[in-house]
Amino acid sequence: MALRLFAALSLPEVIGRRLQLLQDDLHGAEGVRWRPPEAFHITLGFFGDTPEPLAADLDLELSRIQAKPFEIRLRGTGAPGGKKPGSLWALVEPNADLSHLADSCRAASRRIGLIPDPKRFTPHVTLAYCHGVRDFEIAGYLSRTGTFRTDPFWVESFQLYSSWGRSEGRLYEEEAAYPLGPRG
């Protein structure tokens, strides 16, 4: 059996509540499927369908990552995909420690023979998936939410999640957690 796996950062509850407020701005738009707060996360590396023996190896490699806790904040919104965006995002302010952790997760997967997602790392939180939403609605949403900011929050661990399909969207289950070292 294979598990669909990814490494990610969970978010503090207070940040999740702030993200829910962003969802209220475009709540009535047709074609927008909002993500529930329990699905909010920042993906560090997507590994795809992973056979169970490799999943155990990946767990071991991820547990060996050395990094100190760091602060991040969310800043702004985005809708990748040009005139026909597939999703709405809350963006993460650029952060070297976060990029280093994502690079470390991808390197861990390569060491065991997995090919990580080739897309460039763009840290974000997916707020919604869009199908057929009119571009002026997306543009208005981005204009109204572009100044969104959170206070900084500490990242003191990262997680390995499995992803399961269901009719309402994907369900994520935490498989393992990896604490970061002591604050510097």
Q: What pLDDT, on the 0 to 100 scale, is given for residue 24?
A: 82
Read off the pLDDT of residues 132-182 as tens digits, 9 standing for 90 and up.
Answer: 888 888 889 999 999 999 999 999 999 999 998 765 667 899 999 999 987
The CATH code belonging to domain 2-179 is 3.90.1140.10
* The model's pTM: 0.93
DSSP strand E in the chain: where?
2-9, 32-34, 42-51, 70-72, 74-78, 87-92, 124-130, 153-155, 157-164, 171-179
